[in-house]
Amino acid sequence: MTQSRDAFEARLRQIGAERYHDLHPFHDLLHGGGCTPDQVRAWVINRYYYQHSIPMKDAAFMSRVEDHDGTDTNEGGIRRWLRLAEAVGLDPEYVASCEGVLPATKFAVDAYVRFVRDKTLLEAVAASLTELFAPKIHANRIEGLLKNYDFADDSSLSYFRNRLKEAPKDVAFGLGWVLDHADTQEKQDMAAKALIFKTDVLWSQLDALHSAYVDPARIPPGAWQPGEGLALKRAS
């Protein structure tokens, strides 16, 4: 049976309550100050791969709706992420090269870009609705990192502050669009499945990070090894 607009929205929100990556134990470690400097670096390196793929995902999306705006904020986001990379002692060029990114991170993120390119527009928009749940994790992250790590300040965390402003606008539009267009049970099921797929994309990235870098660390061949990609200390 087709659900009412409110019931369908509640169903989408429930997916976040049960499956969003704010529930992943790696985030407890990170936000609670339990990560070593190298674990923070591994997170920054791997999360960059998601960051740099979002514009490709958006381009795949925009080419389908024939609108080519919106790349400025994406590029700004990448620059802000590299500021964080520098603050944790990494060479931003190394991070931007995407060398050393975990294989499972690549598989998950690439699958998201392909999903948006190949599936229906409804599924593509529905997959972006994880951003409904992002402001909470971004606010927790700003608070947790500021409290627990020396590298954290307004400049290094500007990426997240900016997302706190941007994400609610983006997602309000996406949510309204999905609620309007998912007007049959079949389409509602497709949209819910797409959102679940996206929570899996996010969760898999943290599983990969946890398995590679949290004790007992199992770093896959070719992935970043602590000590690599560090910024050279400036001569004083």
Ligand X SMILES: O=C(O)c1cc(C(=O)O)c2c(n1)C(=O)C(=O)c1cc(C(=O)O)[nH]c1-2
Residue 163 CB, nearest approach to ligand X (Å): 5
54 touching ligand X, by CB under 6 A: yes
Residues between 142 and 161 that touch ligand X (CB under 6 A)? none
Residue 97 CB, nearest approach to ligand X (Å): 21
Question: Would you call 230 helix, strand, or coil by DSSP?
Answer: strand
Nearest CA among 53, 51, 73 for reference residue 170: 73
Structure tokens at 27: 């985030």
Give the interface segment with ligand X, choosing from 91-99, 133-141, 175-183, 206-214 (CB under 6 A). Answer: 133-141
Q: What is the DSSP letter of 234?
A: P
Applying CB under 6 A, the site for ligand X has a residue count of 10
Among 104, 137, 175, 223, binds ligand X (CB under 6 A): 137
Q: What is the DSSP letter of 129?
A: G
Closer to ligand X by Cβ: residue 3 or 162:
162
Contact (Cβ atoms closer than 8 angstroms) between residue 174 and residue 128: yes
Among 19, 80, 163, 187, binds ligand X (CB under 6 A): 163
39 touching ligand X, by CB under 6 A: no
Give the interface segment with ligand X, choosing from 93-101, 131-139, 150-158, 214-222 (CB under 6 A). Answer: 131-139
Residue 78 CB, nearest approach to ligand X (Å): 10
Structure tokens at 156: 């290094």
Residues between 187 and 206 that touch ligand X (CB under 6 A)? 202
The binding track of 76-105 with respect to ligand X, each residue x by CB under 6 A or -, is -x----------------------------
Contact (Cβ atoms closer than 8 angstroms) between residue 127 and residue 197: yes
219 sits in which H/E element: none
Contact (Cβ atoms closer than 8 angstroms) between residue 99 and residue 223: no
Q: What is the DSSP string of 133-164?
A: SHHHHHHHHHHHHHHH-TT-STTTTHHHHHHH
Whether the ω angle into residue 216 lies within 30 degrees of 0, i.e. cis, is yes
123 touching ligand X, by CB under 6 A: no
Nearest residue to the partner ligand X, using Cβ: 130
134 touching ligand X, by CB under 6 A: yes
Structure tokens at 75: 């590029």
Contacting positions for ligand X (CB under 6 A): 54, 77, 128, 130-131, 134, 137-138, 163, 202
